[in-house]
Each structure stands twice: as structure tokens, then as C-alpha cells.
Amino acid sequence: MNETLFRWLIGLVGVSTVLGVFLSLFWYWALTKIAGIIYKKVKCKTLLTEYGILTGIVERAFFTVAIATCMSGGIITAMVAWTALKSQTLWAAFSVAVARVAVADDNKTNNEKKDKDIFVSLLASLGSMIIAIVAGNICSGAILKDYIDALLTYIVAL
């Protein structure tokens, strides 16, 4: 197997797609706990469609490829624009309709709760973009090149 292909498999499939799903879910869960936001429980039946996981996979794959191939023209600008677009549309994949429900406990208003939700979604998106940056750099060989090449050599020797 070619070393470049192996790096792309690890970066794009392993880190960006598979590991990215679990890290993004954990990061979002941690942020909701810190912010005190109620989140929906994950159901395996609707995992890809209802929870924004499919969107995350596609966005991380797109930005991973863009970073790995060193596309010029403002990759970081595109990442920020995408994150801003998601934030403006209140992309709150796991929260329980907090913008529409009156919160009676400790006198929080709907707007305060909505602001927390938007901020958590923004931070979750930025976490997803960081995963794409790391995965793209793995694909291009900018980071972990020696370790991945050594792993491939070990696998081939088996």
C-alpha cells in the first residue's frame, strides 16, 4: 500500500470521519453540561439524520480535503463563514427546543437560554473544524508522518 494513500485513509476516514463523530459528540455533550443546557438523548435509529452527525461528517470531510490539498483562496475564511452560517440558523442539533420553551427555573428568559444554545453550537462547530484541520494535516503528511509511515511498514511486514 502506498504511504500517501495510507495517510489519507487514516486522516480522512479514521480521524475526520470516525473519530470526528465521537469527539464532536463528546465535545458537544461537555459544552452542554458546562452551559447547563438540556440535550436530547442519542437514539441509534436516527443518529445520522436527527443529530447533525451527517452534516458534521460532510463538513469535516470537505475541509479535511481542502486543507490536505493546500487549496488556496481562504480555507480558514470558508470555515469561519460556514460556522457563522450555522450559528445564524440556530444549528442546535441536540438541545430540546429551548428557544420556544419558557424556562421557569432560576428566572432565565428565553433569550438568555437561546444565547447559551447558540454559543454552545458555535463552540461545537469550531471543535469540529479543529478536527478537520488535524485530519487534513495528517493527510498531507504535515503531522504524524513518521508514525504513520512506521505503522504502515509494520503492517506490511506482518
Of the candidates 85, 51, 95, 78, which has an alpha carbon nearest to the alpha carbon of residue 136? 78
pLDDT digits (tens, 9 = 90+) for 5-42: 999 999 999 999 999 999 998 998 899 888 888 766 66
So where are the chain's domains?
Answer: 3-41+61-157
Of the candidate ranges 39-48, 52-61, 63-72, the one whose mean pLDDT is the lowest: 39-48
Of the candidates 107, 95, 113, which has an alpha carbon nearest to the alpha carbon of residue 51? 95
- Side chain identity at residue 23, one-letter code: L
